[in-house]
């Protein structure tokens, strides 16, 4: 992952040092379990932990150099660990284990820690959206369908619906964490032929993982679920960012991204204030979504194991998680700082729309007089077309139409914004208990 989009805390979790440190901890815990079960001599585990190497840049370099010889990363890791310990007890390192025991279990540790971070990030986004929903529930804005004026809604309703979706993303991330918080130390093809199941149980308990049956590798549907949770979270951010982009357009102007002191919108045109954050979020969501397909394809491996998934996961898992953290945090900042223009929004409702946003209300009012729905529809449709063509207020056209048999009181009610939005509180009711 390029540093531009890599949050430091998440990047650190997927550094070579972090990966090899997790693998070393699996090996050391396995020796503790072997001693506890009477397989390894008393004192072995303490001696190994005391002699364990520091996993730093020099250690990583030594493993890389050894891998150039072994052409096997885990074998190189074990060789360097045993050599750096420099004691006879080092022969107990990796005793009865296969590479995937260590690699998969260590990866599960990395992923659970990373998902804990993403769950917190997602919760902060939910909280930010909920706060904006509550603060703006009474600010009216034109609702649009197919990009066209439809009926009135409120900014708060928009924020609330995105909040509910982000909350579902948070729940999906939590389920993905539960699914990936598993480990296996069951040896070649997963039959415990050279290792006691009690060792797996001990190591997993110490790491906060659940031991599960496996082939030589953990089933990859678990990892695909992580990628799916990342992709859906990014898709929600993309949906919100798309709304920001659409409402930011010059001819709409109902919202604007926060603009910092000294910021420049364009290198050539000083007047520009482009929605660059929202555009960036839409672009990165495409990348995260693209990583899901390789993750799904990793589910199907040959027999008890192959390594066609390994090279894929070295890229897609760290990148997806780091990018997801980046977009969740950027989205939270965007939500918090998004500037609304209630006056422009009201202008679109009252003037630009010509009052056409109340067409359904007029339709239903005519039906209530006993008119057939089709006849009422044609009258309203004709009046709307005239209003658009002549740029006249919709109500004015209706009042001049002898077939639109509605008195002033009925029209007042049909064009009453407060009546249309009377149930907006239900959006806030749905947020109860989220934050």
**Nearest Cα residue to 313 out of 97, 109, 112, 104:** 104
If 0-12 CB within 10 Å is exposed, 13-18 middle and 19+ buried, where does residue 157 land?
buried
Tokens of 88: 């006879």
3-state helix, strand, coil in the chain (%, to 5): 65, 5, 30
DSSP count for the chain of H helices, then E strands:
18, 6
From CA 125, how far away is CA 131, in angstroms rounded? Answer: 10
- Per-residue DSSP letter, 371: -
Pairing of strands 339-340, 255-256: antiparallel
* Phi, psi for residue 317 in degrees, rounded to 5: -70, -55
3-state secondary structure of 138: coil
Tokens of 218: 């953990």
- Contact predicate 365/413, CB 8 Å: yes
Neighbours of 208 (CB within 10 A): 12
3-state secondary structure of 340: strand
From CA 412, how far away is CA 401, in angstroms rounded? Answer: 16
Q: Which segments of 165-235 are extended strands (E)?
A: 182-183, 210-211
- Contact predicate 23/77, CB 8 Å: yes
Question: Which residues are catalytically annotated?
Answer: 146, 266
**Nearest Cα residue to 213 out of 304, 99, 121, 349:** 304
Query: Treating both helix axes as pointing N-terminal to C-terminal, what angle do 73-85 and 57-70 enclose, rounded to 10 degrees?
Result: 120
> Mapped to the 3 state alphabet, what secondary structure does 399-420 carry?
HCCCCCCCCHHHHHHHCCHHHH
Tokens of 50: 């005391």
Collect all residues with Cβ–Cβ distance below 8 Å to 313 and sequence separation of at least 6.
Answer: 107, 223, 295, 298
From CA 199, how far away is CA 207, in angstroms rounded? Answer: 12
């Amino acid at each position: 992952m390029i540093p531009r989009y890599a949050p430091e805390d998440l990047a650190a979790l997927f550094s070579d040092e972090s990966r090899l440190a997790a693998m070393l901890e699996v090996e050391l815990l396995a020796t503790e379990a072997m001693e506890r079960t009477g397989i390894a001599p008393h004192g072995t585990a303490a001696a190994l932990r005391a002699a364990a190497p520091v996993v730093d840049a020099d250690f990583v370099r030594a493993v890389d150099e050894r891998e150039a010889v072994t052409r096997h990363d885990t074998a190189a890791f074990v060789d360097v660990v045993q050599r750096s310990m420099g004691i006879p007890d080092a022969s107990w390192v990796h005793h009865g284990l296969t590479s995937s025991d260590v690699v998969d279990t260590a990866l599960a540790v990395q992923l659970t820690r990373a998902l804990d971070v993403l769950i917190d990030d997602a919760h902060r986004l939910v909280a930010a959206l909920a706060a904006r929903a509550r603060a703006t529930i009474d600010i009216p804005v034109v609702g649009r369908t197919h990009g066209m004026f439809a009926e009135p809604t409120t900014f708060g309703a928009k924020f609330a619906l995105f909040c509910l979706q982000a909350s579902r993303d948070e729940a999906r991330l939590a389920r993905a964490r539960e699914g990936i918080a598993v480990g296996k130390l069951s040896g070649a093809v997963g039959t415990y032929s050279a290792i006691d199941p009690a060792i797996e149980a001990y190591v997993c308990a110490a790491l906060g993982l659940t031991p599960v049956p496996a082939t030589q590798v953990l089933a990859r549907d678990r990892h695909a679920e992580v990628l799916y949770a990342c992709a859906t979270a990014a898709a929600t951010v993309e949906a919100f960012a798309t709304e920001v982009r659409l409402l930011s357009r010059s001819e709409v102007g109902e919202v604007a991204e926060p603009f910092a002191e000294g910021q420049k919108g364009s290198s050539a045109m000083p007047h520009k204030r482009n929605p660059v954050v929202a555009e960036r979020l839409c672009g990165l969501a495409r990348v995260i979504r693209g990583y899901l397909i390789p993750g799904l394809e990793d589910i199907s491996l040959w027999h008890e194991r192959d390594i066609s998934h390994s090279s894929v996961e070295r890229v897609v898992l760290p990148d997806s998680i780091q990018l997801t953290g980046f977009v969740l945090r950027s989205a939270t900042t965007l939500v918090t700082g998004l500037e609304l223009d209630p006056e422009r929004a009201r202008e679109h409702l009252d003037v630009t729309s010509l009052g056409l946003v109340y067409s359904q209300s007029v339709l239903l009012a005519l039906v209530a007089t006993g008119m057939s729905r089709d006849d009422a529809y044609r009258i309203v449709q004709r009046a709307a077309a005239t209003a658009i063509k002549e740029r006249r207020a919709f109500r004015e056209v209706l009042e001049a139409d002898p077939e639109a048999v509605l008195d002033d009181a009925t029209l007042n009610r049909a064009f009453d914004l407060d009546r249309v939005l009377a149930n907006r509180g239900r959006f806030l009711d749905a947020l109860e208990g989220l934050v």
